Amino acid sequence: MFEWTARINLVKSVADALSYMHHDCLPPIVHRDISSKNILLDLELVAYISDFGTARILKPDSSNWTSFAGTFGYTAPEFAYTMEVNEKCDVYSFGVSASEVIMGKHPGDLLISILSSTTSTAIDTPLRDVLDQRLSPPKDQVAEKVMFVVKLAFSCLQTKPQCRPTMQQVSQELSIPKVPLPFTFDKVALEQLVSHA
């Protein structure tokens, strides 16, 4: 079984790869199709991003408009009406993928209800109820890390692209020691992990 620590490391590997593509490549590369089908694992369960057929190189002195590319359910909502390629599209897709890794399935309707309304009853849902039920609940430091990954994933899913972090920020956040969150795993509700910017 794919344990919690391996899942946390997978999320970090993907964040590191996207940070490299967005911030260390000149010009930057936007993948445009980050989804579970395009994340490959080696024998040590290190994640690699694959399928660059829809990727675009961002050209600083030109418009970066394009036709639709990506996988439904992972694509940033603004892409449907702007068709502008930028790094924030990958950030959103990363948030969906990271949530999927922790939940053990695509977050689907849960994300829609959480991110669309602060009055949703889904917000009151305990975190433990949306985690992958095939595993025992995480404990101690692993539980802290799982909560942190969920909080970071939800920050990537902000409706407004400018409110999402950069992949460099995400990668750095996943690399530094965590300050304990002000709530315990058994009592945390999704509302406490969702920031409404």
For 155: left if phi > 0, alpha if psi spans -120 to 50, otherwise beta; the answer is alpha
b/e burial code for range 22-46 (CB count within 10 A of at least 16 → b) = beeeeebbbbbbbbeebbeeeeeee
Catalytic residue among 33, 61, 90, 132: 33
Q: Coil, helix or strand for 40?
A: strand
User: Nearest 5°: phi and psi at 84?
Assistant: -95, 130
Q: Which residues pair with 189 in a beta bridge?
A: 126
State residue 48 phi and psi, 5-degree precision. -135, 145
140 and 150 Cβ atoms separated by less than 8 Å: no
Which of 110, 36, 115 lies closest to 14 in space, CA to CA?
Answer: 36
33 catalytic? Reply is: yes
End-to-end CA distance of the chain: 36
Active-site annotation, residues? 33
